[in-house]
Structure 1
Amino acid sequence: MKSKLCAVCNNSAPKYKCPTCKVEYCSAKCFKDHKSMCIPPVQNTSQIPANSMSVSKESEEDDEEEEQHRLKEVDLQKLAKSDRVQQMLAYPEMRALMETVCSNSNPVQVVHALRQRPDFEQLVQAMLEATTE
């Protein structure tokens, strides 16, 4: 069984969790590195009014539209083979940002916020280029 690694340096087993976003890290240095890019999680659903959680025709249409934009297996293979994407993901900070996206209950909102960062926007553009070739 593969043991977990620090989300920041990807070298050691994590001993701590960020109190803000719950990303796991191994040392004070990694926490300092992570702290500058940490994004707080969105509010949990218990804080959202019940009437806003009902499924409407609009949300069903949104789900269908989202499905159209979801990556297919062939797109995922293109990402895995992209040298540029792989080079960018070699940086622990970039992997930590992706972990933040994946572990958040509202990843779309996190991606929108992270796209303000030039380094993350470069990754997004590299991924788009790789999947549209």
Structure 2
Amino acid sequence: MRAALRRRLLQAVRTDALASFAPADGVWRTRCLHCRRALALREDGTAIGSASLEHVVPSAWFGRRAAAALTAQVGEDADDPRNLALACAPCNHGKGASHDARGPGDARARDVVAALLDARLARWREPLGDGMGD
């Protein structure tokens, strides 16, 4: 797994109010943003099982007028931690194949992404100052 992906996964989990770190086994635990399935990451950011990185507002939507209200909530960068979450691979790939692909011009796709963004922002916490690369 690429180092950049591991860093983004760690950004997502460290800013997730549902996430907890167990020093005894060096594992972060949280829940899928979509279905709430249990997910885990090693302390180096390596995904365990089906954990995957979710760009809540799809990267391809940035810079598109129809998505401006959504992207404004997370800044100008698709990799802003507010736009990153953990999702199980089936949910993440399902969203990518349906809602993300239809684009921000599709009202239903915008509604789904807006609801997910609301859920992510409700789970937001400032990055933990735990000396683990924040």
Q: Which has the higher contact order (CA 8 A, sep 6+)?
A: 2
TM-score, normalised to structure 2, is 0.26
Higher fraction of strand: 2
Taking structure 1 as the reference length, the TM-score comes to 0.26
- Name the one with the larger helix percent: 1
